[in-house]
Structure 1
Amino acid sequence: MLIQPRGIRLAEPLPLECGRTLDQVEIVYEVYGELNATRSNAILVCHGLTSNQHAAGRHRAEDPRPGWWDQAIGPGKPIDTERWCVIASNVLGGGASTGPASIDPASGQPYGPDFPIVTLADMVDAQARLLDALGIERLYAAIGGCLGGFQVLTWMSRHPQRLARAVVISATSRVAAYTIALWKVMREALALDPAWRDGRYQGQAPPERGFQLMSRIGALIWMEREALEQRCGNRLIGDADRLGYGFDPEFEVEALFEKVGRGDVTQLDPLALVYLMRAMDYFDLARGHCALADAFEGSPVPTLLVSYRSDWRYPPAEMEKIRLALEQRGWPVSHRTLDSAFGHGAFVYDSEGVGALMRSFLETSTT
């Protein structure tokens, strides 16, 4: 399946939660499958923190890897593109869509760190504008994990009337203090690279070394201990039979982490990643309400919640709080907890379990 990204400029300026307004906004997206005559079969797939709009297929036949959720999206797959039209958009601030690398129409130069802070609400409002432009009044479903799950929860809170179903995977109703602290440490690692230039590196060499260090810190946190042990253990590189007694990489796990983040700086703008991290810092559905349930005051939407027992960053207990809040508002909701050694990344790297749940849920009548 060869796919080409598309772009659309929003017809009107976009007001942001921070109080500023973006006069020009372009949203980049990809489409898999065809809209039916009534435009009622559209599924919005929301991407995670380090992913983008390229969710399935390949841009070119020679591409080494398909989109990040190719296991789940396509003909005959859990999100069957012979039945549904899948839309995956790059979030506002995410790099391909309008973000810090975009040209500021007021100055004619890249925004850089002068780009306004965006929130999950801003991202979802931009997606709603995209659907308006595509003539889609109501989604058959919105689906997402991690940051994508935050987007779906925001859709459920801000635009429930535009959803027929919702699938939230590996997410919480707010980020934990631990995550905010982790993002801070990762940003500081990036800032140690002289090429960072306080985020004003546009047109120059990007901060590749700082980005690699930031990526390795994140990977060390995201990867489960059991999965890393099974993959590498204490094995020496190339099955060497003796120790080198030095500080050069000798263990397979060291060689593995030397590869983490290498070359990714060309695929993901480091400054855009910093903006997405900050958007996650600000995510808290209960803010401004007396209780979490008050965030879901709109029309009830049948919802599937999926968590993983090994995901200690977004644990099942936090997802259960969302289920209880939805039930208080009369929403039809089910919470399923799965097992996987991949932890937080299981919905991408071990998608068979969640794929079966999604397939069944999407085929169930909302009535």
Structure 2
Amino acid sequence: MLRSDPEGRLEDRLNARPHLITLADPLQLQSGAVLPDVQIACQSYGHLNEAQDNAVLVLHGLTSDQHAAGASSGPARKPGWWNAAIGPGKAIDTDRYFVIVPNVLGGAGGTTSPAAQNPSTGRPYGLSFPVITLADMAKMHAALLDALGIEQLHATIGGCLGGFQVLEMLAACPARTGKSVIISATARTSAHNTALWAVLRAALMSDPNWRGGDYYNGPGPSAGLGLLAMTGALFWMSRETLERRFGIAPVSGVPRYTMEPDFAVEQFLNSVKENASKGRLDANSLIYLTRAIDYFDLARDAGSLQLALKGVQNPVLLVSYASDWRYPVEEMAEIAKALPENVPHQHLTLESTMGHGAFLYEFESLRPALSEFLR
């Protein structure tokens, strides 16, 4: 049941601007904790048809939010994170589909998160926010569909963290997901990735302004966020991409023999650091979302990956990138092997020097397959 702006057509209430929807019921979390008054920030594009069977749920990656397409309302008018994919005539065609993009539970885009007010204290949650999981995120998405009155989706799409959420929805409510597109993902987090997240969280927590997560009434941990973003850029970009884009020649043509940035790759990472410290990202949100990724193991509670995915009914498109060392091709192949034999599915492996971030930064190679699959 929707408790926010109940009048008018659904798309008129959501389109062209971020919208907050408050769930009617508390959200019971996998840990046993309960979140009351959960708000979901979402944005949508296109129009819901009369049969209400053209809705596409797009789930974002770690550092993105609900603003997936079109120019933002901010002064920079920055395009959405998947502007290349969503819009009239594009692969996710808004002349054909009603596209819903929610901000993830715990995210920094307005959905209930560590930055939200704790009703028991009247102050931001900070580290008193309960630990959340990918299963909790999928449960929130199902509650959002209930609130919007959408029984079944035409498709559910996600890359990276979004792909994990699609997998959790396939395990929890497979009849509702419609066609599923899972990009640059895995069925469980590896020890290597958990170690990487631990390093990034340590970078954040080492900033004196983090103050144990209680920084909302003062300067935030911008230095820690900058260090996290610089390290994170190396997660997304392959060795080949860095070599091709920047090389190792000094920017001025000859070495200056200084501790100041002397190479293009250093200047690039400095710009990443500066952008991260401008306030778009929330340190506690990143801590909670990466912790949720640590706990992600689709087979653990079900007993096996096959059992977790036994209810899948509709076609599945799995997309890997050959250069993605974080979630390699063979891990996506395990998902393909675990799907029921009668479910049509395709595992597409694309070439890209961008590594893990290719679906965002080199979308053209994915466009034909995604467009055809959705049709």
Shared fold by TM > 0.5? yes
Match of 2:370 in 1: 358
1:297 correspondence with 2:310: yes
Match of 2:253 in 1: 241
Q: Distance in 1 between matches of 2:312 and 2:84?
A: 32
1:287 counterpart SS class: helix
Whether contact under 8 Å (1:156, 1:301) holds in the other structure is no
1:286 correspondence with 2:299: yes
1:213 correspondence with 2:214: no
1:1-367 → structure 2 map (5 Å cutoff): 3-60=16-73, 63-95=76-108, 96-237=110-251, 240-265=252-277, 266-328=279-341, 330-363=342-375
Cα deviations by residue, 1:246-267 (Å, 9 ceiling, x for unpaired):
2111111111111113233411
How far 1:268 sits from its partner (Å)? Answer: 1.3
Cα deviations by residue, 1:162-191 (Å, 9 ceiling, x for unpaired):
122100000000011100000001111111
1:152 counterpart SS class: helix
Q: Distance in 2 between matches of 1:71 and 1:309?
A: 21
Cα deviations by residue, 1:120-147 (Å, 9 ceiling, x for unpaired):
1111111111111111110000000000
How far 1:301 sits from its partner (Å)? Answer: 1.9
Cα deviations by residue, 1:1-59 (Å, 9 ceiling, x for unpaired):
x9310110000011000111011100000001011112110000000011111100113
Q: Distance in 2 between matches of 1:360 and 1:193?
A: 47
Paired letter, 1:200: D
How far 1:289 sits from its partner (Å)? Answer: 3.0
**Residue identity (%):** 49
How far 1:288 sits from its partner (Å)? Answer: 2.2
Whether contact under 8 Å (2:318, 2:346) holds in the other structure is yes
Q: Distance in 1 between matches of 2:294 and 2:53?
A: 34
Match of 2:8 in 1: none
Q: Distance in 2 between matches of 1:205 and 1:62?
A: 22
Whether contact under 8 Å (2:171, 2:312) holds in the other structure is no
How far 1:217 sits from its partner (Å)? Answer: 1.1
Q: Distance in 2 between matches of 1:185 and 1:62?
A: 34
Paired letter, 1:285: L
Paired letter, 2:90: K
Structure 2, gaps ≥5 residues long: 1-14
How far 1:331 sits from its partner (Å)? Answer: 2.2
Structure 1, 120-129 or 139-148: larger mean CA deviation: 120-129
Q: Distance in 1 between matches of 2:248 and 2:132?
A: 43
Structure 1, gaps ≥5 residues long: none
TM score, norm. by length of structure 1: 0.95
Paired letter, 2:203: A
1:30 counterpart SS class: strand
1:183 counterpart SS class: helix
Relative to 1, partners in 2 of residues 1:338 and 1:241: Cα closer, same or farther, differing over 3 Å? closer
Q: Distance in 1 between matches of 2:74 and 2:139?
A: 34
Question: What is the root-mean-square deviation in Å for CA atoms of aligned residues?
Answer: 1.3
Whether contact under 8 Å (2:310, 2:340) holds in the other structure is no
Number of matched pairs: 359
Q: Distance in 1 between matches of 2:31 and 2:308?
A: 20
How far 1:89 sits from its partner (Å)? Answer: 0.3
Whether contact under 8 Å (1:39, 1:135) holds in the other structure is no
2:300 counterpart SS class: coil
